[in-house]
Structure 1
Amino acid sequence: MDELTLLRRTRDDSREPSPEALTAGRAALLGRIADDGATDTTVRQRKKRRWMPRLTWAVAGTAAALTGVLVVGNVTMSARSAYASEMLRTAATQTIHYADLVPGSDQYLRSRTHARWGICNDTVCEPNDQILDVYMPADPEAEWVLYRDWGSIPGVLTGESIETARAVDGHFYDPEHSWVNVDYADIPLDGAAAYEWIDSQYSGGSASRDEDNFVRITDILRSGLVPASQRAALLDALSRIPGVTATDNVANLDGVTGVAIGRNEMLRAGQRQEVIIDPDTGLVTGERAMSGATFFGWGPNEEMSLTAIETTVVDTAP
């Protein structure tokens, strides 16, 4: 007897499967056939499809977090800039009402700068204190006097640590340029016009146009000799430079506090230049430079230089 005949005989034909059993068996068989016929690529695609939603949500979460950081940063910077603009324009309004110090016929308007600047070599900078006294006579066309204590470095004119120079209209070092390097009468008395006046003189210097405008305005203001009306216009002009912010209660080198007006220059690794002003008079009482990154021994956000500026009327000059 062959095996096929034996198998048939052992089958019980009297017991037929139910329709439900047939349906369940057919479904199981088709499912197994589908799984056995699936290629590795198909399996990977299925796994990939299962992970895709998770990956998509993860990427979306990271993007949302980065967007949130940028949005918060932009909002914070906008708020700081708005505060600085409001403060500067308020200071400009106050300055117009300030009674300037006016020297008599035999007196001088003296601007004293006590500065702590760095002496740098190839690897490091060390602080060096200097004193600069500029004496402007009642008649600006008359002879001005500069007294300068260079501290631990030799002076430019004599090679000595102490220098005294005299020159008509403040042309101490260059017959073409005065100490203040501007005729105050040329400064427009309207803030917007003063900004346009400064911006129109841009010739490609500094790391950016905004930095150059900021530096040229603050160079004029830090002389300590600018009349109130022009000073007010320049403060208003500062408020129009993008990125300018304000920091309250900043002390100058002599410990006098004021509001620091500055901006971070991204093209200089975030280095920040500031002038410290008295918001009631608009006078610059000092300057400060803050590092943006590690530089010549300074860490991030460290003080690189600091000055104190004071304007008074005196009877004599050296």
Structure 2
Amino acid sequence: MDELTLLRSTRDESLAPSDEKLQAARTQLLDRARDLREGRPRRLPRRRPLLARVAWTAAGAVVVTVGVVVAGNLGQSAPPASAAQKVLRHAAAETIKYSDPVAGPGQYLHLRQHSRWQGCSGGKLDVEQNGQLVPTEVPYVCEPYDDTRDLYMPADSGREWVWHLVTTATSDLPGIDIVQRAVGGKSDDVDLRPMNDVPADIPTDAQDAYKWIDDRYDGSSSNRDEANFVRITDILRTGMVPAASRAALLGALAKVPGVTITENVANLDGVRGVAIGRSEPAREDARQEIIIDPNTGLVIGERTLAGRAPDQIPWGPDGLTGLSALQLTVVDAVPDLPADSPQG
């Protein structure tokens, strides 16, 4: 059962959900988040999220699926591979000159991800009825909603880290507000540290970085080139890759066959950058992009578009199914937030 269905299962058709029902739903959602993190099987067909891996998602986070990403009208605007290589190499060169944000004493690095997801539910599900899971055909429904995640990382990493998730309500589901805290960034229940997903041995030369990625191919994805693209962008999207390694990974992206770029693309917050993506024929030309600031090499968002996949329902122009914004800044304090959400 997916996360939206879990919440729907608490819904009374005639009344707004009670606090008890909402709390039960959150508990189920937290349990499902652990299931996903630990690789337990899901009951829905596999669908790729807008962010393939959100490295700093807490163990108690709500994880919501998004439809498979497919190329829309990008073929009209995406320059040839040689242009992509030129832009990426320029971005790599500019990245070396950029000084990454550094929190001073008492300050925090603030990593914010604002996403508009395509939340889909339905199909053949095991629905709980009278304490038992019963195979049920549920109508397939997709609806966009916003998801904002804020992570506050103290300059002194031994102090308390804070993670905050807020989702907007949909037509029949309440919004969600979850807070997690952990001294040193890790507790028995949560690990809030994004740098755990940034390997320490990333080379600082583009050719070496490409070989380093390619040597780690493990048969995942539909082929080696897709796996290399996903692995590089997974690391970059954490927002925590040092400039020298970030420049090398951008250079490595230019060496992945099939990578193209689209310039002047706006993220969800309206900040414009260069979208870097790759279409995969084995996935009906599925395409997922990261959007970078070409002057810093930082990922400022992601974009997904739907095309030939028959089960995708775009919510935006040009077949848009997902859009996000990512920002890394320095702040002086953590805002007042609710108490920690229960772990389930």
Please report the TM-score for the alignment, with normalisation by the length of structure 2. 0.62
**Contact 1:180-1:220 at 8 Å conserved across structures:** no
> Can you list the C-alpha shifts for 1:174-226, whole angstroms capped at 9, x where unaligned?
76895344245321111111122222222222222222221221122122222
Q: Give the total of aligned pairs.
A: 238
Aligned residue among 312, 325, 338 for 1:296:
312
**Contact 1:95-1:281 at 8 Å conserved across structures:** yes
What letter corresponds to residue 141 of structure 2 in structure 1?
V
**Contact 1:170-1:180 at 8 Å conserved across structures:** no
Structure (1 or 2) with the larger CA radius of gyration: 1
**Structure 2: gaps (5+ residues):** 1-75, 123-139, 336-344
Q: After the TM superposition, which residues 140-289 of structure 1 pair with which residues of structure 2 at under 5 Å, given as runs? A: 140=157, 143-152=160-169, 161-167=176-182, 170-171=185-186, 178-289=193-304
**Contact 1:184-1:230 at 8 Å conserved across structures:** no
Query: Compared with structure 1, are the counterparts of its residues 171 and 203 closer, same or farther at alpha carbon in structure 2 (3 Å cutoff)?
Result: farther
Task: Tell me what 2:329 maps to.
Answer: 312
Q: Secondary structure of 1:185's partner?
A: coil
Q: After the TM superposition, which residues 10-159 of structure 1 pair with which residues of structure 2 at under 5 Å, given as runs? A: 80-122=80-122, 123-140=140-157, 143-152=160-169
Higher relative contact order (CA 8 A, sep 6+): 2
**Farther off after superposition, 213-222 or 266-275:** 213-222
Q: Secondary structure of 1:112's partner?
A: strand
Q: Secondary structure of 1:237's partner?
A: helix
Distance 2:213 2:191 in 1: 20
Distance 1:79 1:288 in 2: 17
Distance 2:201 2:208 in 1: 11
Distance 1:221 1:254 in 2: 19
Distance 1:99 1:221 in 2: 16
> Can you list the C-alpha shifts for 1:99-124, whole angstroms capped at 9, x where unaligned?
11110021111111110011102333
Query: Compared with structure 1, are the counterparts of its residues 143 and 202 closer, same or farther at alpha carbon in structure 2 (3 Å cutoff)?
Result: farther
Query: Cα RMSD over matched residues?
Result: 2.9
**Contact 2:198-2:241 at 8 Å conserved across structures:** no
Distance 1:130 1:107 in 2: 25
> Can you list the C-alpha shifts for 1:219-240, whole angstroms capped at 9, x where unaligned?
2212222221121111111111
**Structure 1: gaps (5+ residues):** 1-75, 154-158
Following superposition, the deviation at residue 245 of structure 1 comes to 0.3
Identity, in percent, stands at: 50
Q: Secondary structure of 1:124's partner?
A: strand
What letter corresponds to residue 297 of structure 2 in structure 1?
G
Q: Secondary structure of 1:87's partner?
A: helix
- Point out the structure with the larger helix share: 1
**Contact 1:149-1:162 at 8 Å conserved across structures:** yes
